[in-house]
Structure 1
Amino acid sequence: MSSELQETSERSEVVLGIDVGGTGARAAIEPLAGAFGTSRDVVSGPAVKITAGGSTAPAVMAALIAQARDELEEHRPGARIAAVAIGATGIASLVTNPAASLAALSAAAGGAPVALAIDAVTAHLGALGGEAGAVVAVGTGTIALGTDLHGVWRRVGGWGHLYDDRGSGAWIGIEGLKAAIQHHDGIRADASALLSAAESRFGAAPTWPAQLYTRDDRGSVLAGFAADVAGLAALDDPAAARIMTDAGALVAQTLAAALDPALPRRAAGVGGVFAAGGAFTAAFTSEFARLAPDASLTVGAATPLDGAVRLARLLAAGQVPTGHPPFLWR
């Protein structure tokens, strides 16, 4: 191939990074020859649902790849996908055999190599850029990962909103509903604003069980109410502020637990809940400083979608030689 043809071929190659979460999914298309984070196109997809058959993540991933290819055909005709990397919530816990999806996903991407990871891996790559340390990702759920991306892999949390995901969007929504129903029942008298917000979102309190217990996107719905709780906390509602303060402290505890002794004392927090700021972020930074006073901490430096693009670039460059189940498959 002549140098001119090779250059043209390289310009037409793109990488595809996909972030699949409990409140939505996104795919970023980025030219392989360009600098990281430049000329990026993003398409959106649905949130993951949890049914009796498990997670819908594989179907969401395949649909996003198809959307991305349609986007390429329209805006970058002739472009070829050089690599695909996906970070997905619940992929290790709620999908029976994640590796079984790889061949179909590769075929959907025109034969491109595919790396599939739990969302904590792509959050880590986004926040620390490949450096060793610990990262906590807080969205619908909460999961932390301490790793050097080679020999150390320490997961904390991410086990779902029924008994874990402490401090997450779903956890905040649940705590807000707990306070609201207790006010409704006369058990407490300080959560009238939370009750009003819950009734505005879900209707009369007696209808909540039928609405929430029967849904396969319950985590996402609960996380949606977290925005109302955070909004009330920003208005100095005491009950809501306590929930956000508790959430921040719990997330800090999860992150501190992921700081494996074999890793540098470097940590980061990412995810949509950090946008709440206020009581949540203040409690998070304060509690983390108490638990890990010798560790550095950054918040909101990058997103899991950035991490998925970074992983796709590494894969295209041949720098992801093997997988590390149950964290990374390729």
Structure 2
Amino acid sequence: MYYLGIDGGGSKTAVALVDDRGELIACHHGGPSNPVSVTLKEIEKTMDDLFGQLKQNHQEQFSQIKSVCAGVAGTENSHSKDELRLLLKSKFPEGTTVQLCHDALTALYSGTDGEPGIVNIAGTGSITFGVTADKNVVRSGGWGYLLDHTGSGFGIGRLALQKVFEAYDGFIQPTMLAEFVLKRFRISSPPELIPVIYGTSESRSRIASVCEDVFAAARLDDKEAVDIVKQAADEIAKSISHIIHNHFKGLDQMNVVLTGSVFKSSDILLPLLQKDLPEGVKLILPKSPPVVGSVIESYQVLHGTCPEDFVKTLHDSFARGD
């Protein structure tokens, strides 16, 4: 008996084939599968390419897959959800259990090993999800980079660029951020940032990339950078606390999984978050990618719970890169 996990996003999709002990048989990566950003035809091509790679080397194991879980971004807002579910089911023999779920659930499970809790995903954008014991998904934030709070790569980078220009105009004292940002974009003065940021399809990702410079400057005690990091941590903590207050009140312990590129600087962020969050919150940085959460859910769909030895073997297998 084999299990298949799928983690689908706007830029890439991962699939992982695992046996009934939790050993990773194969893992492959392919193109996008978010139905908000690509068509069903494009998603089908991505899946066919990935499944084809699995079949090429593991035909027998692929034919014995009993449960599939696909955590795909964008499905909660997509009119194509039912069509996507049918598309996935068509790729496997009749009798194979195929589940299409919110990618927040699989991101959470990669850190909680199948237990309910909260996950904050902070990359270019930022969103917080809560997943209850009955797998009901609630959310806070995630309304797009122009409307969201500052607890994201874009929000942090935007604030940093504002400080760079405020320092250039003389409103605040010089900041180390200017030196780091100019070096990043290989320019010599802040006005040269204008064509770098405006009038390009890459402006959002370029602004978000400045997040790295903010954390670098904060480690050197640059006042403006430290203030930006504190503001971001405060916004993330508010989002998490909001979901706890409204959906998980009264629990002695709450698992909170933190994922996304912003948490590469967890050494700075975690102490700030822990200070602002309610007592009993356990912050978790997943040791495995979200596709592991998909595998765990594919197992739980059939068996109800996931045994500790399966989960341990699964994490160990991914850590080895089998």
On whether the aligned pair clears a TM of 0.5, the verdict is yes
Which amino acid is the alignment partner of residue 129 of structure 2? L
> What is the CA–CA distance in structure 2 between the aligned matches of 1:29 and 1:246, rounded to whole Å?
37
**2:13 touches 2:32 (CA, 8 Å); kept in 1?**
no
Structure 1 segment 193-272 matched on structure 2, within 5 A: 193-194=177-178, 196-198=180-182, 200-201=184-185, 204-212=192-200, 214-215=201-202, 219-259=204-244, 260-261=247-248, 264=251, 265-272=253-260
Deviations 1:48-77 (A, max 9, x none): 89xxx9523856754542342232134323
Match of 2:273 among 279, 284, 297: 284
> What is the CA–CA distance in structure 1 between the aligned matches of 2:199 and 2:256, rounded to whole Å?
36
Which amino acid is the alignment partner of residue 7 of structure 2? I
Identify the range of structure 1 (257-266 vs 239-248) with the bigger mean alpha-carbon deviation. 257-266
> What is the CA–CA distance in structure 2 between the aligned matches of 1:91 and 1:205, rounded to whole Å?
36
Q: Does 1:106 align with 2:95?
A: no
Tell me the matched-pair count.
293
Identity %: 20
| Runs of 4+ deviating beyond 6 Å | none
| Structure 2 portions without partners, runs of 5+ | 306-322
Q: Does 1:142 align with 2:130?
A: no
SS in 1 for 2:21: coil
Which amino acid is the alignment partner of residue 148 of structure 2? D
Counterpart of 2:27 in structure 1 is 42
TM-score by length of 2: 0.75
**2:8 touches 2:33 (CA, 8 Å); kept in 1?**
no
Deviations 1:228-285 (A, max 9, x none): 3223323333322222222122111111111124573413132132221233222111
Which amino acid is the alignment partner of residue 17 of structure 2? E
> What is the CA–CA distance in structure 1 between the aligned matches of 2:154 and 2:33, rounded to whole Å?
14
Change (3 A) 1:142 1:54: same
Change (3 A) 1:298 1:57: farther
Match of 2:299 among 313, 322, 326: 313
Q: CA deviation at 1:151?
A: 6.9
| Structure 1 portions without partners, runs of 5+ | 1-9, 321-330
Counterpart of 2:174 in structure 1 is 190
> What is the CA–CA distance in structure 2 between the aligned matches of 1:246 and 1:304, rounded to whole Å?
27
**1:15 touches 1:312 (CA, 8 Å); kept in 2?**
yes
Change (3 A) 1:225 1:100: farther
Q: CA deviation at 1:15?
A: 0.9
> What is the CA–CA distance in structure 1 between the aligned matches of 2:159 and 2:140, rounded to whole Å?
21
> What is the CA–CA distance in structure 2 between the aligned matches of 1:63 and 1:318, rounded to whole Å?
31
Match of 2:115 among 131, 142, 145: 131
Change (3 A) 1:123 1:249: same
Aligned-residue Cα RMSD (Å) equals 3.3
> What is the CA–CA distance in structure 2 between the aligned matches of 1:164 and 1:92, rounded to whole Å?
19
> What is the CA–CA distance in structure 1 between the aligned matches of 2:285 and 2:154, rounded to whole Å?
19
> What is the CA–CA distance in structure 2 between the aligned matches of 1:234 and 1:63, rounded to whole Å?
44
**2:197 touches 2:207 (CA, 8 Å); kept in 1?**
no
Q: CA deviation at 1:220?
A: 4.2
**1:29 touches 1:68 (CA, 8 Å); kept in 2?**
no
Counterpart of 2:102 in structure 1 is 118
TM-score by length of 1: 0.74
**2:29 touches 2:50 (CA, 8 Å); kept in 1?**
no
Match of 1:177 among 161, 176, 179: 161
Counterpart of 1:6 in structure 2 is none
